[in-house]
Amino acid sequence: MRILVIGSGGREHALVWKIAQSKLCAKLFCAPGNGGIAQIAECIDVQADDISGLLEFARKEKIDLTVVGPEKALALGIVDEFTKAKLKIFGPNKQAANLEASKVFSKELMAKYKVPTAKFKVFDSPDEAKKYIEVNGAPCVVKADGLAAGKGVVVAKTVDEAKDAVTSMMQDKVFGDAGKKIIIEECLMGQEASILVITDSKEVVALASAQDHKRIFDHDQGANTGGMGAYSPAPIVTADILKEVLDKIIYRTIDGLAKEGIDYRGVLYAGIMLTKEGPQALEFNVRFGDPETQAILPRLKSDLVEVMLAASVGKLSKIGALKWDSRVCVCVVCSAGGYPGNYSQGQEISGLDSAAKLADVVVFHAGTKKIKDKILTSGGRVLGVTGLGSTIKEAIDKTYQVVGKISFEGMHYRKDIGRRAIEGS
């Protein structure tokens, strides 16, 4: 098969890396790709949101399967356009992508179909939102309705913090139109986990659990980011908890969409809070998580292409349970100094060659570009250093050993990725 992966981040590098191992993959392209992806696939100079350009390329190159990485392309309706052109594509259509593209749509769907989630209220007026905060107090969570690259959520500990978030989103428009509407919801307490499944709108195949680290600094301090690291599996997600998540959250959501006339095919990512009252849905994403994918896919022994192909044509029932490496995988994100705020680009990265020589380690590129024989930084999250170990401690030690070999000016990373799993064990 000739396969096209769309995107340029660490998630897409992990997808390309895994897809390249498939017996079904004869030729692999990525648009636009990055410095690491270029070592595995042929990178095409077409941006991930250039739907017409991607469609033209897929037709010209007779692409057999397209795999969509980023949410923006899904929200723009790439799946609808490829489907019209009778091209196989893995991902939900534009209507289904609203599950991530609009938090208001997502929360209202959850409320309608009794998916456990935090109590919430929707606002399109900053003044009304601030009055509500003054009456109801803090802590609370303020969310921009639209896509904000994983940064449109503020967990406000005080009333002033919450009101500042409203000002920032609705009046200063830091996320543009994504902040025209906002949600204010109760602040759930507990541990977070990420549950990803692949579905064809009827059948569901669960991927291994993972736990993400959203805050920029150790001990979950500082601003929310797109994710500073992850590990898989998450020990807190027991078999009983996974069953409860699938029954009460995943299936109810997919069935609810079907009742609304929306066919969901692709990956469904549920951010879950494990509360005293049981698992509750924090949010849905309509694509592979980043950096969870980097921690999950190195453990997958089954052929990912077979699974994605079956889901895209509605034949997931033919795929049995997936096979997994029993080892633990840890991914540590190395980011540019200043991220998630302003950061510099174009710094040369050293140590990648020595890191590549180590067994059971993969360095996934996120924000990089190759200029001649040098790899330079070109984004906020630059690398996802990933290691496998027989225990969580071994995986953590191996991963940080590799992180220590890599450097670029201003490089920042958390030093406590995976520690929660040790403390909880």
pLDDT in tens, 158-177: 999 999 999 999 999 999 99
Mean pLDDT within 337-347 = 94
Size (the chain), residues: 425
Q: Judging by beta carbons within 10 Å of its beta carbon (0-12, 13-18, 19+), is residue 99 exposed, middle or buried?
A: buried
Mean pLDDT in residue range 54-75: 97
| Rounded CA separation 308/315 (Å) | 10
* 330 vs 9: CA distance, rounded Å: 18
**pLDDT for 87:** 97
Mean pLDDT of 284-291: 96
Q: Nearest CA to 224 among 285, 296, 152? A: 152
The CA distances from residue 79 to 86, 97, 126, 143, in Å, are 10, 10, 35, 27
CA atoms of 376 and 355, how far apart (whole Å): 16
Token pair for 77: 């309706």
pLDDT, average across residues 18-22: 98
Distance of alpha carbon 70 from alpha carbon 85, whole angstroms: 21
Compute the distance between CA of residue 107 and CA of residue 280 in angstroms, rounded to an integer: 12
The reported pTM is 0.94
pLDDT above 70 (res 425): no
Q: Is the four-CA dihedral 9, 10, 15, 20 of positive or negative sign?
A: positive
Q: How confident is the model at residue 152 (pLDDT cuts 50, 70, 90)?
A: confident
No. of helices (H) and no. of strands (E), the chain: 15, 22
Residue 31 DSSP code: E
What is the C-alpha to C-alpha distance for residues 364 and 8, in angstroms, rounded to an integer?
A: 11
From 349, 91, 271, select the one nearest 198 (Cα to Cα). 91
Mean local confidence (pLDDT), 49-57: 98
pLDDT greater than 80 at residue 423: no
Taking 50 as the threshold, does the pLDDT of residue 144 lie above it? yes
Is pLDDT at 408 greater than 80 in this prediction? yes
Question: If you search the block for the tokens 């289904």, which residue do you land on?
Answer: 96
Q: How many CB atoms lie within 10 A of CB 349?
A: 21
- Split at pLDDT 50, 70, 90, the class of 414 is very high
Q: Look at residue 379 and tell me whether its pLDDT is greater than 50.
A: yes
Is residue 424 scored above 70 in pLDDT? no
